[in-house]
Chains A and B, each alone.
Chain A
Amino acid sequence: MFNVRIHGRGGQGAVTSAEMLSVAAFDEGLHAQAFPSFGSERTGAPVVAFCRIDDEAIRAHDPITEPDAVIVQDPTLLHLVPVFAGISAGGYVLVNTSRPFEELMIHDLVDGLDPHRLVTVPATELSRTRLGRAMPNTALLGGFAALTGLVSLESVQRAIRQRFAGDVAEANAEIAASAYDHVREATGSHDHA
């Protein structure tokens, strides 16, 4: 079982992101379950969404408290919400920011985690440039695919095209690919998945 927790703000597509990740995993023949944190969501408020991925059928429906990966869609949440709570020792962290991880000054928060698994993605920047909107979720999914290797970029792109249509789908698929390349470069893995 691989547990993903996505932290964002209402309107950034955290719930959609979890859903697309589950579709990508399903597409690869894995079992997946995506669900929101069921709060009284409103634009700008901190939200959480979850995705479980497993090679066996998933029965449990309790929230994820010990994530194997944390995706932070908005860096302003880093000091506002305990985003890394319960993360496993080998956990992956993906933060949306144009700055490198070392400059985030959150060493105390990620103490004990493998530094090679802590990555930033300029997701908002990529989205603004290509889509004209700050919608970081698809870039982060591309980055997640590169960082964890759990799902392929192609599956993420198929999930994006299933969720969106036309130009929006294509733009988001490209954004995911850019983020994928960015993370592979950052983590030093240049071979093709």
Chain B
Amino acid sequence: MLRQIEGSRAVADAVARCRPQVVAAYPISPQTHIVEGLSDLVRTGELAPCEYLMVESEFGALSACIGASAAGARTYTATASQGLLFMAEALPNASGLGLPIVMTVANRAIGAPINIWNDHSDAMSQRDSGWVQLFAESNQEAVDLHIQAYALAERLSLPVMVCMDGFVLTHAVEEIDVPEQEQVDAFLPPFVPRQVLDPSEPITIGAMVGPEAFTEVKYLAGLQQLRALDEIAVLSTEFERAVGRVSGGLVDRYRMEDADIAVVALGSVLGSVKDVVDVLRNEGVRIGVVGVKCFRPWPLDEVRQALAGTERIIVLNRAFSVGSGSILGQDIRLTVAGSGSTVYDVVAGLGGRPVTRASVRTLIDDVIADKVDPDELHFLDLNEQLVEHELQRQGTPADVSDRLLHNGSARLPANADFRATGWPQG
């Protein structure tokens, strides 16, 4: 039933309808409303049988989930920002042990300086953890992805992160349909674990593997994660049949037919980008949007196909790899290498700075007018005066700061040789 509710509330209801048997979480903004909602549902008995574990930390939360999942329980947790980093030690254990845990990451910046607002730094920092990473464009998709995530996780015996933009989605009240219990039950069968820790029949999991086989174990883990690419496409179709709605998948193409220009992004910013693209299409610009829904494993073939034939590709990164450059942008550059497309790499919306439709429009206009250098990394809406003032205060030589700041946008090299451009040291 379509209801006007908060994203977090809807996600809590959707997770509950997946019938998790163990929920272990530690509250952190902006994930809090989700786990509060679940704890209420467990307290009132609406979600039963389920044990809600009050843990002392995020490390404890994921460790409890690992134990519960290994013992054969469907498990759930949620976190954000430094909470995810506090789980970091245990994340590869969950994936290495093949435990189908589902976790919401309510995407939030990483400090210091402390910042509670949205960007993708947290999830991106764990992109090599072996977890599948799905990114929701809307609250409706966040709801649907959680249900698909359990099916995906359990079919492949892999943990899945469902990433949704903190505050922007988690705290927005919108019309959302949480599939009915019967629909979820029909789509998601009960969890049948591949391996179960059982005191009466003890086994060892995660035993030590030496140099003679570790490479092979990792090779196989890599193959297993890539299998998610096939499974996600299948699940999206099955979900559409069960619930009557297209949600998830690997890559979403919007108005990409005959497009010369593509904007690539992850998460909730896609809605604003689509609005801008509609306006530009009405003006006769051949532009479309490629929304990446599955970030890890990286859907190389699908992204390449989606971008085939484009002349210019604008990548909006909501994370910044300090000392290297963009993250999504580098994946895109590799994906389209040799195709002749020009990639414009843009860092936008860090630490909750809104990515407004006006700014996106200006960026696209600048790209079309050849005002943006594709060899350099751009920062959307950068306050150049502030940066310049700070560089001066630090005594950075003028020729260096001039190179960093020119032509109306502050730049870092997209291909990341900082020494060559004299990025100020210390």
Residues of A within 8 A of B (CB): 18-19, 22-23, 26-27, 31-36, 38, 40, 58-63, 65
Q: Which residues of A contact B268 (CB under 8 A)?
A: 61
How many A-B pairs fall under 8 Å by CB?
67
Distance A27 CA – B3 CA, assembled complex (angstroms): 9
Q: Which residues of A contact B269 (CB under 8 A)?
A: 61
Q: Are B174 and A59 in contact (CB under 8 A)?
A: no
A60-B271 contact in complex given A23-B4, A38-B167, C-beta closer than 8 Å? yes
B173 in complex: contacting residue of A22, A59, A62, CB < 8 Å: A22
Q: Are A34 and B116 in contact (CB under 8 A)?
A: no
A62-B171 contact in complex given A23-B4, A38-B352, C-beta closer than 8 Å? no
Question: What 3 A-B pairs come out closest when comparing CB atoms?
Answer: A59-B271, A26-B4, A38-B167
Q: Are A60 and B272 in contact (CB under 8 A)?
A: yes
Of the four ranges (under 10, 10 to 19, 20 to 34, 35 or more), the interface on chain B belongs to: 20 to 34
A60-B352 contact in complex given A19-B173, A22-B4, C-beta closer than 8 Å? no
**B117 within 8 Å of A by Cβ?**
yes
A35-B168 contact in complex given A59-B138, A60-B357, A62-B357, C-beta closer than 8 Å? yes
Q: Are A65 and B356 in contact (CB under 8 A)?
A: yes
Q: Are B175 and A26 in contact (CB under 8 A)?
A: yes
1/0 per residue, CB under 8 A from A, across B29-40: the answer is 010000000000
Q: Which residues of A contact B274 (CB under 8 A)?
A: 59
Kindly provide the distance from the CB of B350 to the nearest chain A CB, expressed in whole angstroms.
14
Q: Which residues of A contact B6 (CB under 8 A)?
A: 19
Q: Which residues of A contact B270 (CB under 8 A)?
A: 59
Q: Which residues of A contact B4 (CB under 8 A)?
A: 22-23, 26-27, 32
Distance A14 CA – B339 CA, assembled complex (angstroms): 51
Kindly provide the distance from the CB of B80 to the nearest chain A CB, expressed in whole angstroms.
13
**B275 within 8 Å of A by Cβ?**
yes
Q: Which residues of A contact B357 (CB under 8 A)?
A: 60, 62
1/0 per residue, CB under 8 A from A, across B1-32: the answer is 00010100000000000000000000000100
Closest B residue to A31 by CB, please name it.
B175
Q: Which of B277-313 contact A (CB under 8 A)?
A: none
Q: Which of B98-116 contact A (CB under 8 A)?
A: 116
Q: Are B167 and A62 in contact (CB under 8 A)?
A: no
1/0 per residue, CB under 8 A from A, across B117-147: the answer is 1100000000000000000001000000000
Q: Are A62 and B172 in contact (CB under 8 A)?
A: no
Q: Are B355 and A62 in contact (CB under 8 A)?
A: yes
**B354 within 8 Å of A by Cβ?**
yes
Q: Which of B186-228 contact A (CB under 8 A)?
A: none
1/0 per residue, CB under 8 A from A, across B325-369: the answer is 000000000000000000000000000101111100000000000
Q: Are B172 and A59 in contact (CB under 8 A)?
A: no
A and B contact pairs by CB, cutoff 8 A, 16 listed = A23-B173, A26-B4, A26-B175, A32-B4, A32-B173, A32-B174, A35-B171, A35-B172, A36-B167, A36-B171, A40-B116, A59-B274, A60-B272, A61-B268, A63-B354, A63-B356
